[in-house]
Structure formats: C-alpha cells, structure tokens
Chain A
Amino acid sequence: MKNPRVKVSRLRLTGKTAFTEKLYTFFLGRDRLNRTDALWGYAFSAFWLGGFLLLTVGPFVVSLVMSFYRWPGYGPARFIGIHNYEWIFTKDRLFRQALSVTARFVFTAVPVRILVAFVVAWILSHKLAGVTVLRSMYYLPSVVTGVAVAFMWMYIFEAQNGPMNMLIRALGAKQSVGWLASPRWILPSFIIMETWTLGSSMIIILAGLKGVDRTLYESAHIDGAKGYHRLFHITLPMISPSLFYVFVIGFISAFQMLTMPLVIFGTGYQDVGGPMNRGLFYSLYLYNRAFQAGRMGYACALAWILFVIIVSITAVNFYFIGRKVYYEG
C-alpha cells in the first residue's frame, strides 16, 4: 500500500530546478520522507543557530578581518595589512614572553594535574570509609568560580601573613617566600593553583576506573601479574579514552588561562604579568592589548595566532597520542 505522505511530498517538489533540489538535499537530506522532520528540526534550533551565527561565527569572522586593522575597539579603524602579524612575529618581545610563560605552564601544569588527578581518583575508586564525602570534597573546587579561587589563593600566598608562608616559617624557614610577588615563584604558584582544581579531571578518570571490567584484573591475578603490570597493561589502556579526553581538554583550557592571572595581576601598579612579566599568560597579554592598551586589532591577531596554536597542538595530540588510545569494542 502506498504511503500518502510520499505522494504529497513528491508532488510538492515536482517542478523544482536541479539546483533547488541539490539545496534541499544538502540541508534536508536525500530522504524526502524526513524532510518535514528536518524542517521542524531547523525551526526548533533556529534560535540557537541564530545565536551561533551572530555571537560565534560573526565575531569569529570580524576578528579575522579586524586583525588587519589598527582599531582600539571603538571609533574608526585603519587598514594596515599584515602589520600586526609582522610585528608580533618579528618585534614583539612580550608576545614571545607570553608564549613562553604559557607553554611552560601548559607543559608542566597539565601533566602534573592529570597525574595527581589519577592518583586521587585511584585512591577514591576503592571502597573507603567516607569515600563519597571525599569525592565531593575533591570535586568542590571545580565548581567554585575562578575569581573566588584567585582571591583565595592570593590570601593563601600572601607575602607575610598568608597561611603558606606561616606554614613555611613554622617549619623553620627564616624568610617568607614571595609566591606571587617574586619572579621565581610565580609559575610554581600557578601550577599549584591549577592542580588544586583537579576535581573535574578526577571525576572523569574515576568514572573510567570504575568502568574497567573487574574480570580483567581477576584473570591477570590468576596469571600472576603484579600491581605495576596491572597498572600499565590493564588500568591505563582501559582508561586511556578518559585520560586522553582530560589531556586534550586540559591543554586547551590551560592555553586559555585568564581569570586567575587577570584577578591577581590585573590591577595595581605592577607589570601586566607581575614582576618581570613571569605571569604574563597569553590570554592575559591578549586581554591587555585589547582592553588596556586600546589595540583591539592587534589583540585579534594575537587571538588568531592562539587559535592556530591550539588547533595545531590538538591535531598533534590526536595524531600521536589519540592513535594509542584503546577504545573497547
């Protein structure tokens, strides 16, 4: 028996040009039966799609265009060709400094964070008394807003009466450490802060650990596998998708680190990135150029360079590490 909807649909499209048919196929699919459903889909997602076009794709394109202009973010813009990019790559020492600070942070903080998150997740994957409370406690820092976290650490690292320095002095040190006030200690301080917010990584790794089939461990045990054998040959391969996800997301977010350095160094009379600009993270420098130095066009160029860097590193991660990830089934 013939479906009356098919007949109606065919009738409706009869007489359309080949181009229109291609357009229909592109947006609504080949299956004419589902075209009305597809249209409804578009209608329901129209609000989101509109927002995406206006608020994501629009600024994306505008920022690319403005990166070729001298523009403070308001008023008239002047086309200066590739000058912004040329200056960034050939003369801008702060760009190199920001890239260096960010790279050192990313390549130190992300592995440290994942390692600590793995250890914590491994501990919390066991049946311990109060483990649910412990899991909540470790996850809690991840739901605290970055500004509050920054203020808390500013207090903890306070040069004189901060808990960290009080602890150091109580342990016998004669002098305090200028955690955020000393060029030598800025990066370690930020790595500590970053590691503290390991909750989200920990939860993902924990979920991975809980998902490992127990029978694998039992089989390995029967075969005489020791603890490190089980770790390297069962646990790590089995949770590699979780680890890889945490790794990729960690890299991307670490490259975009802004809130904490902005809160900590963004006011006052110091350098934009703290003493010797040792806390000049890339996003902080970008923010400074855009909103403090009145160089929005230049900041757009910096943003595009950061975009290319992040995409490239993510691609490299997928190519070299993603291939080694074990996806069960």
Chain B
Amino acid sequence: MKTVRCVLISAVLLPLLVGTAFAGGTEERAAPEGPVEIEYWHDWAPEGAQGLVLQGLADEFNARFEGEIVLGLVYMGGRRDEKIAASLAAGDPPEVAWISGAGQSYYDAGVLISMDRVYDDIVDRADLLPNMREPMQYLGKDITLPHENSNLAVLYNRNLLREKGIAFPSAVIGEYTWDDFIRDAGAFTDLDAPTYGWHPRWATAMVWARFWQKGGQMFSDDFRTNLVVSDPEQQAAMLGALDWIDRTLYREPITANDRGDQSFGSSDMPFEITGPWALPRYFKPIGPFDPGDIGVAPFPADNETGAVVTYWYQKALAIFAKSERQEEAGLEFIKWFYSPEIHARWCADAGYLPVTRSALEHPVWIEYARANPWVEVYIEQTAFQQYPAAGIPRGDMDRMRDMVRFREGTPEQALRDYARDAQDVLDEFWATR
C-alpha cells in the first residue's frame, strides 16, 4: 500500500514540476477581442533627453490608438543583445526594437519579418534619403529599417577658446584639419596638471573615419578578403590611422578631465567630437549651456589627402515576427512613427537627423533647423559619411587601437597582430554560413 502511495505521489509531483518548467510562454499578451499590446524596446535612459521625447511620443500614440493598440516602452539599459536574445529564446520578442548594427544574427535565425512588407505598404522606399537603406542591408538584402541618421562633428566651447585666444574652427567642410585640431586641443593640454584638450569617447569610430580619410577600404567588394591583411596600400592607410592615435589620443596617465562628455559638459574640456544626439543633453532639459556657448565645426579633414569622411552611426529598427495581430499592430506603430510630422518631431527633439525626405521638408524640421543652425553642419556632412560593412566581422579593431593608445606596442606591431587573425575571422564567417 505504501509503495502505491509513493508511486502516486511521484506521479503527481513530477508532472507538476514539468508543468512548472514549461509554464508561461508564447501566447499573445492580449485577448483576441481586446486592444493589442505591443512593445518597443529601446536604449535611451527614461530620464534622459531622448527618453523623455520617446515617452511623450508613446503617450501620443496610445491616445491616438486608444482601444486598439497599447504601446509599451522597455528600456534595455545598454544590454540590447542579451535581452533581445533572451526574449527570442523564450519565444516572445518585442514587436520592434532599436538596435545598433544591421541585426544580421536575427536575420540568419529567421526571426525578422520580411522588409518587403514594410517597404511595400508602410514606408516609401523613394522617401528614404540616398543610401539610408544600405547600412540596413546584409549581403544585399534589406533586413531592418533605418531609425535615424547621425554622424560625427566637432563641438567646441566658445568661452574656453576665447579665453585662450584661439580662433573658432572653420565651419566650412574640409577647411579644418586634424593638424589644426591637434594644435588647438594641445593648447589646453597640461601634462603636469594633468589635463587634456580632448577625450576621444568614440575612439574606434574615429579610427574608422581616419582609415577612410587615408583612402582605406577594409574589404574586397565580395567581402571575402580583408584587404588590410595583405594589401600594402590598405596597410599604409591603417598605419596612418594608427599613427594618428599615437599622436592624438588620450592615454595614461589619467588626466583631471578624462570623462569626455562630462568634462565637456562641465567646461573642463574645450572639445568633444560627437554626434548631434549629444546636443539636447547640453541644451535641455537640464543642460548647463546656452546654445550660444557651443559651436559645431565639421569633422576634421585629413591633412595630406584633404578627405573629409566622417563616421556614420547607423541605427536600425528591427521588426520581429509575431502573431498576425501583433505584427499588424507593430507595423501600424511604424507607419505612425515614420509619418513626416512624427519623424521630424522625434529627430528634432531627440537630436538626430531624419532618414526621410518628407521629414526633412516638414515645417517642424525646417523650423527646428532655423532655430538651431548647428544642425546644418551635420546635415551637410551626410554627403561625406561612411559606415563599416554591416554584419561582416572586422577582427579585433579595438585591440589594435588600444595597443597603440596604451603604448603596449608600435602601430606596426598592432597592425601585425590584427592581420594575424582578421582574415581567419572573416573566413570563419563564410565557412559557417
């Protein structure tokens, strides 16, 4: 009898455990007859300038679609890849997510919706500014949607430059060179203090930009060969970029003003090289500057080649495959978000550049650009911006940069180390497609 009881208890407990393990899940978050709940996962701190703008837009969307769609914002807190991967593994990804890069791993896994659906019905291909789609393509296919446009330019503190008697950088693209910049930043460098005139917060992006300015091209046209590994011309271009790090980048010792945007924001450092998204941080809602305190100059040009290439921060919106109702609701949000007025308002308030012509020509953006002339520099630079190939492995660029930056080796050694494994990484990428 006891044995029977034991078996019965086990028979009850084990299914309970198994049931618990597989409970929860993938069913729709809303009953079929109620409003559809969708989520937009983003990476702007809710209390920051962009986060507040996005929350305002979400509230507006929810009011507009009351009773039909409920949009929830989820802040990923800098851990985009992990959180999205976990949601995909659980079978319940967000409807839309803001990602950096093209999202090729999502495409490879077949978890994105076909972009044909978006470009046929939601966003007009012809309305996108030239080349906006390219960074969102992977091996020739559209996989995500461009979210906003931005590139790098020089922000300078007018008051600090005036105090030192240094002329403001030229606003004409191509006139202000890296030699000029290093000279100006160097005037604020005091290694006894120690303080430095500039902190390269976006260092890897600037290595790319300098590489391109030197005429560099990382990959062959078919993306099968890393040219920096074997092509002497490309190696020379990379060495030029690395040599520039050696001459200009901040390195040890730790200086009194090494915190990049914070140091610039507190007038401890005269220069910052960053995108247009940084300006709302300084101007509003709690920024310390009057817009008149800050000037914006184009990204410095190469001294030798005169090239003015700047780095293009391509950010994408990934749209995940879900139930039909959720996908439809997600696409409804995208249609609303990319409408000329809303997209113009998002970009103007958050400090980005629009990706569509209709937004760029919308009165909201025109008024914004008139009131904030600094944005003109970024808009003009869009003709000179480049991006690294989406989804293609690039080897360990950071390590190469740091080896020079921390003087752990010469630029030649750093390049040799990089070349040692860069082609292997690329070969593996193709071998495991």
Which positions in A face B, CB cutoff 8 Å? 12, 36, 39-40, 42-43, 46-47, 50-51, 54-55, 70, 72-76, 78, 80, 83, 87, 91, 93-94, 159-160, 165, 174-178, 181-184, 266-271, 275-277, 291-294
Q: Contacts A43-B6, A73-B88, A75-B109 known; A87 to B428 CB distance under 8 Å?
A: yes
A contact residues around B52 at 8 Å (CB) = none
Q: Mark B67-79, 1 if CB is under 8 A from A, else 0.
A: 0000000000111
B contact residues around A276 at 8 Å (CB) = 399, 402-403, 406, 408
**Interface status of B286 (Cβ within 8 A of chain A):** no
Beyond contacts A39-B2, A91-B424, A176-B254: 12 other A-B pairs, Cβ-Cβ < 8 A, are A36-B2, A42-B6, A42-B10, A43-B9, A46-B9, A54-B17, A75-B111, A80-B432, A87-B428, A93-B420, A276-B402, A276-B403
In angstroms, Cα B110 to Cα A220, docked, is: 75
Question: Shortest beta-carbon distance, A229 to chain B, in Å?
Answer: 48
Q: Quick check: B13 and A175 within 8 Å, CB to CB? A: no
Identify B396's interface contact among A83, A94, A175, A275, CB under 8 A.
A94
Identify A73's interface contact among B18, B89, B194, B428, CB under 8 A.
B89
A contact residues around B399 at 8 Å (CB) = 271, 276-277
List 6 tightest A-B contacts by C-beta distance, closest first.
Answer: A75-B109, A294-B105, A74-B88, A175-B253, A291-B82, A50-B17
Question: Shortest beta-carbon distance, A186 to chain B, in Å?
Answer: 11
27 residue pairs from A and B, CB less than 8 Å apart: A36-B2, A36-B6, A39-B3, A39-B6, A47-B13, A50-B13, A51-B17, A70-B432, A72-B88, A73-B85, A75-B88, A75-B110, A76-B109, A80-B432, A87-B428, A91-B421, A93-B421, A159-B259, A176-B254, A181-B254, A182-B406, A184-B252, A269-B202, A271-B398, A277-B399, A291-B86, A293-B81
A contact residues around B114 at 8 Å (CB) = none
In angstroms, Cα B432 to Cα A161, docked, is: 47
In angstroms, Cα B423 to Cα A93, docked, is: 13
**Interface status of B204 (Cβ within 8 A of chain A):** yes
A contact residues around B431 at 8 Å (CB) = 83
A contact residues around B421 at 8 Å (CB) = 91, 93
Identify B79's interface contact among A176, A266, A277, CB under 8 A.
A266
**Interface status of B258 (Cβ within 8 A of chain A):** yes
Identify A291's interface contact among B21, B85, B254, B403, CB under 8 A.
B85
Q: Quick check: B79 and A72 within 8 Å, CB to CB? A: no
B contact residues around A47 at 8 Å (CB) = 13, 17
In angstroms, Cα B258 to Cα A193, docked, is: 24
**Interface status of B190 (Cβ within 8 A of chain A):** no
In angstroms, Cα B252 to Cα A165, docked, is: 14
B contact residues around A75 at 8 Å (CB) = 88, 108-111
In angstroms, Cα B253 to Cα A176, docked, is: 7
Question: Shortest beta-carbon distance, A58 to chain B, in Å?
Answer: 9
A contact residues around B9 at 8 Å (CB) = 43, 46
